């Protein structure tokens, strides 16, 4: 890869070449940070079956580890940390570096767990650390990129989701087969500590480096109540929040249990499942996330409604194709069929979060992003893997090893719900999006 994605992301209107270069550097570093964010968060998915066997867990306990143990603390801490990030005197670079160091250390600690309770508390630690990353990162990006290029810039950052998931599947599957799940967790956690130092050295807080003669008075800070009222006064924001939360509920649930589905129903090893799903969740997700941002900037420039057109219609098309993928008995055909819905379901990230940044004033941007993440993680990550596991346990007496397949059948069709709410939100964008 070159720096073309960064340029395409709209690192525009810089006051100087050095400022443009720094913005490109910032985007690339934030991308790597977000890759580690999702790598450390999602590697548990490919390690779920060996962890279950080693620690003798039920599907419900496994879902609890993958979901609520992480998501509840992530979601609850996200808003107060975002309020701190929105303060004009806060150094968001230092905040991101500290958060990265905490979640990386706790990921490595997960590999030392000897029972369910120890692993539960270590996963909570990962959630606590990761709560400080994305709201501050979105705020940094929005302060550095022109509004008309914001979808592509945030989508570029969002590539960390599929790339991190891809690496988690590949590294986790291979290292587990060679050395076990404990080594896999420690291996992916340790490098994050070095990356935290790189963040501190190579990134700068734009609030503290305004060009001479251009510094303006800090904008009046909004109280928590004022920020919340401004955010929820936007009907478009509410629709996007609902849609994104349902996307996360289905996405996190499918990410964990689709792997278990291929292992249980198709007899794949963790390496085979990891490599196969890496193609779907990784490469297809990368393309879909990039495409969603590009489509939003291109067609949104003509009519702001079209910022969300591709996510809305794409998710409607994805539902029946996803159902067919889970229905097929040949695992190769199943993997191939999952590629298209993965592309379409990944396209929402840049457009949705760019809209959120444009629906509020700069003083509330990190809080707006944190509320989105609150919904996505508490509802999505908190309940998706967990409830999928509960349903699998409930269906097991009837369907045995195939219980996960039937849970995924229902999940495929539920994708029509976010499609509807993204469409509803698109109708409000011309009236509600701000210019800055």
Positive/negative CA dihedral, 222, 223, 226, 230: positive
State how many domains the chain has: 1
- Residue 152: burial class (beta carbons within 10 Å; 0-12, 13-18, 19+): buried
Q: Are 408 and 120 in contact (CB under 8 A)?
A: no
Examine residue 218 and state whether it is found in any structural domain, yes or no.
Answer: no
Residue 237 has a pLDDT of 95
Residue 166 has a pLDDT of 82
Residue 85 has a pLDDT of 85
Give the Cα separation of 395 and 411 in Å (integer): 15
pLDDT at residue 105 tops 70: yes
What is the average pLDDT value for the chain, to the nearest integer? 85
**Least confident range of 158-167, 216-225, 315-324:** 216-225
Helix locations, 328-364, DSSP H: 331-346, 349-358
Q: What is the CATH number of the domain that holds 23?
A: 1.20.1250.20
Residue 208 has a pLDDT of 66
Examine residue 6 and state whether it is found in any structural domain, yes or no.
Answer: no
Lookup: tokens for 369: 């992003």
C-alpha 260 chain-centroid distance: 21
**Between these two residues, 422 and 335, which has the higher pLDDT value?**
422
pLDDT band at 49 (very low <50, low <70, confident <90, very high): confident
Give the Cα separation of 187 and 26 in Å (integer): 25
What is the tens place of the pLDDT at every residue in 276-296?
777 776 788 899 999 999 999
Residue 359, domain extent = 17-205+224-432
Q: Which residue has the tokens 């580890």?
A: 65
pLDDT at residue 3 tops 80: no
Residue 65 has a pLDDT of 81
In order of 15, 62, 126, the CA distances from 109 in angstroms are: 44, 18, 9
* Mean pLDDT, residues 147-162: 88
Q: Transcribe 390-409 into DSSP letters.
A: HHHHHHHHHHGGGHHHHHHH
Directed axis angle between helix 403-413 and helix 382-399, to 10°?
130
**Between these two residues, 86 and 217, which has the higher pLDDT value?**
86
In 3-state terms, what secondary structure has residue 348? coil
Give the Cα separation of 138 and 68 in Å (integer): 24
Q: Are 193 and 40 in contact (CB under 8 A)?
A: no
pTM attached to this predicted model? 0.77
pLDDT at residue 406 tops 60: yes
Examine residue 333 and state whether it is found in any structural domain, yes or no.
Answer: yes
Residue 347 has a pLDDT of 94
What is the tens place of the pLDDT at every residue in 170-199?
888 889 889 999 999 999 999 999 999 999
Give the Cα separation of 46 and 110 in Å (integer): 14
**Least confident range of 30-39, 286-295, 398-407:** 398-407
3-state secondary structure 61-105: HHHHHHCHHHHHHHHHHHHHHHHHHHCCCCCHHHHHHHHHHHHHH
Residue 8 has a pLDDT of 38
Maximum alpha-carbon separation in the chain? 72
Q: Are 294 and 152 in contact (CB under 8 A)?
A: yes
Examine residue 9 and state whether it is found in any structural domain, yes or no.
Answer: no
Lookup: tokens for 229: 């009222």
Examine residue 4 and state whether it is found in any structural domain, yes or no.
Answer: no
Examine residue 219 and state whether it is found in any structural domain, yes or no.
Answer: no
Closest C-alpha among 251, 273, 247, 271 to residue 260? 273
CA atoms in the 13 A half-sphere facing the CB of 119: 25
- Residue 435: burial class (beta carbons within 10 Å; 0-12, 13-18, 19+): exposed
Examine residue 210 and state whether it is found in any structural domain, yes or no.
Answer: no
């Amino acid at each position: 890869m070159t720096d073309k994605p960064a340029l395409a992301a709209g690192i525009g209107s810089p006051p100087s070449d050095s400022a443009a270069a720094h913005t490109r550097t910032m985007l690339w570093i934030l991308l790597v940070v977000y890759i580690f964010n999702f790598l450390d968060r999602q590697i548990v998915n490919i390690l779920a079956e060996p962890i279950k066997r080693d620690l003798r867990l039920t599907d419900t306990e496994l879902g609890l580890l993958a979901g609520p143990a992480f998501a509840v603390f992530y979601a609850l801490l996200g808003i107060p940390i975002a309020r701190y990030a929105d303060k004009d005197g806060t150094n968001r670079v230092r905040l991101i570096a500290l958060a990265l160091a905490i979640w990386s250390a706790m990921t490595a600690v997960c590999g030392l767990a000897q029972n369910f309770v120890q692993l539960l508390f270590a996963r909570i630690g990962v959630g606590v650390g990761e709560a400080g990353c994305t709201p501050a990162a979105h705020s940094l990006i929005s302060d550095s990129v022109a509004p008309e290029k914001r979808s592509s810039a945030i989508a570029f950052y969002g590539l960390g989701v599929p790339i991190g998931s891809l690496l988690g599947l590949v590294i986790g599957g291979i290292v587990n087969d060679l050395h076990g799940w404990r080594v896999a967790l420690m291996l992916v956690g340790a490098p994050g500590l070095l990356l935290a130092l790189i963040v501190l050295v190579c990134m700068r807080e734009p609030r503290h480096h305004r060009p001479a003669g251009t510094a303006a008075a800090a904008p009046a800070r909004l109280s928590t109540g004022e920020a919340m009222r401004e955010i929820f006064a936007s009907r478009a924001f509410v629709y996007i929040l609902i849609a994104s939360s349902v996307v996360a509920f289905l996405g996190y649930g499918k990410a964990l249990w689709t792997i278990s589905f291929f292992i249980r129903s198709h007899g794949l090893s963790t390496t085979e499942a990891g490599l196969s799903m890496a193609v779907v969740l990784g490469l297809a997700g990368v393309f879909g996330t990039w495409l969603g941002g590009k489509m939003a900037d291109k067609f949104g420039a003509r009519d702001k409604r079209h910022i969300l057109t591709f996510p809305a219609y794409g998710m409607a098309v994805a539902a029946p194709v996803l159902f067919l993928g889970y229905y097929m008995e040949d695992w190769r055909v199943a993997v191939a069929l999952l590629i298209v819905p993965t592309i379409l379901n990944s396209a929402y990230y840049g457009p949705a979060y760019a809209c959120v940044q444009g629906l509020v004033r700069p003083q509330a941007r990190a809080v707006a992003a944190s509320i989105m993440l609150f919904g996505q993680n508490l509802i999505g990550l908190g309940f998706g893997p967990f409830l999928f596991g509960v349903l699998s346990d409930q269906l097991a007496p009837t369907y045995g090893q195939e219980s996960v397949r039937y849970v995924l059948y229902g999940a495929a069709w539920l994708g029509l719900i976010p499609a509807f709410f993204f469409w509803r939100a698109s109708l409000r964008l011309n009236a509600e999006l701000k210019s800055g």
